[in-house]
Amino acid sequence: MTHWWVDRPGELEQLVETLATEPSIALDTEFHRERTYHARLALVQVAWRRADGGTNIALIDAQAIDLRSLAPILRGEATIVMHAASQDLEVLAGACGVLPRTLFDTQVAAGFAGYSNPSLAALVHGVLGVRLPKGDRLADWLRRPLDAEQLDYAAADVAHLLPVHDWLVARLEADGRTDWARDECAELLRRAAVPRDPDEAWWKLKEARQLRGRSIGVAQAVAAWRERRASETDQPVRFVLPDLALVGIAHRPPADVDELRRVRGLDERHLRAGAAKEILAAVAEGLEMPRERLRLPPAGEVDRELRPAVGLISAWVGQLGRTLGIDTTLLATRADIEALLRGVEDARLTTGWRAEVLGEDIRHLVAGRAAIAFDGNGRLVLEDR
C-alpha cells in the first residue's frame, strides 16, 4: 500500500501545510504502554483525499519528530476521523499538547447505524466490502525499521476511514441522527480533556465497593500515592503496588514497616527508594481523612420499590435498540438507568437526545403513567396507561 514515510521535521512541516485546507482527515496511532505509565507513541497514521478521489497516506515516525507541529491541524477546521478514539485521544494530547477540535469517531457513529461496537475490520468489510490485512497483535511498533507487513497494516488502518465516514454521514443524515452522533463524539473529547484525578484512582479496585469505614480513606490515599508515583517514575501502577497489596493495606492498615512487609502481595522491590515510608505516610493520611475529603464513586442504591424496574427497563431498552437499529449501549447502560431512577441531576438520560428518545418514557413508566407489554409478536412496547 503506497504511503509517505515522514521522519524529518521539514517533511512534517510540508505535511502540515498540505493538510491545512483539508475538510476531513483520517488519523490513527500505534503506541505501547505495557511497561510504562505514559504511552510511548510509535507512529501516527494520517490519510486525506486525492483530487482523483483516491487516498493519500502518510506514516509519521513519532520517535523521530516532535509531534507538537501537528497541533494546528488538530485544532483547525478539519474534521478528524478516527475509530475507537478514546485511547488515541489520550496519547495525542500527550504528544501534541492538544485534542482535535472536531472529532468523528466511526465506531460511535456506526452504533447509530445498527452496528454494535464494531471493530474497524468488521466495519470496513460491512460498509465497503473490503477486508483489511491481518496484523500481528504483538508487533513491536517501537522497533526500527518497521517491516513491510507492519507498514501495510498501519496504512490500512486509515486507508478506508474517509469512505466509511462518508457512508456513515449519509446514513445518519437519512435517519435524522447526525446530531446524536455529533453529541457523542463531543462527549468523547470532553472526557479526554479531563485529567485523571489521583483521588479517584481507588475506584478501579474490584473490591472498592466492599470497603467500609476508615478503609475507604486508606484506599483513597494509598491509591492516590500509587498513581502519582507511577506517573513520576513512568511505570505501570501494578509495578508500584499490586492491587492485592493495596486492598490488604486498606483492610488492615499497617502501623510500621514490619507490618507492611507482612502484607500479602508486597515484595521488597515495592518498598525500595523510600516507597515504604511514603506508603506508611499515605496510610496515616487515610486513617485521619475527614469525611468531606472522601471521593466516593458515583453509586448508590435504587429505592427498594424501584429495583424491579431496572431489569424491566433494561429489557425494554434492548428491544428499543433493536427496533431503532441503534447499539443498545449507546442508548442506555444499566448504570444510566439506575442514575435516572436515583434522581441524579446530570444523569445521561435527563438531557439531549436520550431524554427525548427514552428518558421521558422511563419517567412516565415509573410514575405509573405508562406500562411495558408484549405486542403479540414477541416484542416489548411501552404503552400509555
The CA distance from 141 to 131, in Å, is: 22
Q: Among residues 61, 90, 115, 153, which one is catalytic? A: 153
Residue with cell 465497593: 209
pLDDT digits (tens, 9 = 90+) for 323-362: 999 999 899 999 899 999 988 888 999 999 999 999 999 9
List the grid coordinates of 215: 478503609
159 alpha-carbon distance from chain centroid:
23
Query: Three-state SS for 105?
Result: strand
Quote the pLDDT of residue 298: 74
Which one-letter amino acid corresponds to residue 195? P
Q: pLDDT value at position 116? A: 86
* Residue at 380: amino acid letter: L
State residue 355's pLDDT score: 93
For residue 82, the SS3 value is strand
**385 DSSP 8-state letter:** -
Domains in the chain: ranges and CATH? 4-193 (3.30.420.10), 198-293 (1.10.150.80), 304-384 (1.10.150.80)
Of the listed 28, 90, 227, 361, which one is catalytic?
Answer: 28
Query: What is the b/e burial string over 297-334, where b = at least 16 CB atoms within 10 angstroms of the residue's CB?
Result: eeeeebeeeeeebeeebbebbebbbeebebbbebbbee
Catalytic-residue membership of 88 = yes
**What integer pLDDT is reported at residue 90 of this predicted model?**
95
Given a contact cutoff of 8 angstroms between Cβ atoms, the answer to whether 156 and 133 are in contact is: yes
DSSP per-residue codes, 125-180: HHHH--PPPP--TT--TTSSSPPHHHHHHHHHHHHTHHHHHHHHHHHHHHHT-HHH
| Backbone dihedral angles phi then psi of residue 33, each to the nearest 5 degrees | -150, 20
User: Are 120 and 81 contacting, i.e. CB atoms less than 8 angstroms apart?
Assistant: no
**Radius of gyration of the chain from Cα atoms?**
25
Long-range contacts from 143-150, C-beta under 8 angstroms, 24+ separation: 144/61, 144/63, 146/43
Are the beta carbons of 82 and 106 closer than 8 angstroms?
Answer: yes
Active site residue 345: no
Q: Which grid coordinates belong to 369?
A: 403513567
pLDDT of residue 103: 98
Catalytic residue, candidates 88, 184, 227, 361: 88
- The upper half-sphere exposure of residue 170, i.e. CA atoms within 13 Å in the direction of its Cβ, equals 6
C-alpha cell at 44: 501516527
Residue 30 falls in the annotated catalytic set: yes
pLDDT per residue rounded down to tens, the chain (385 residues): 689 999 999 999 999 999 999 999 999 999 999 999 999 999 999 999 998 889 999 999 999 999 999 999 999 999 999 999 999 999 999 999 999 999 999 999 999 998 988 899 999 999 999 999 887 778 899 999 999 999 999 999 999 999 999 999 999 999 999 999 999 999 999 999 999 999 999 999 998 888 999 999 999 999 999 999 999 999 999 999 999 999 999 999 999 999 999 999 999 999 999 999 999 999 999 999 999 999 988 766 677 778 888 899 999 999 999 999 999 989 999 989 999 998 888 899 999 999 999 999 999 998 899 999 888 888 888 888 8
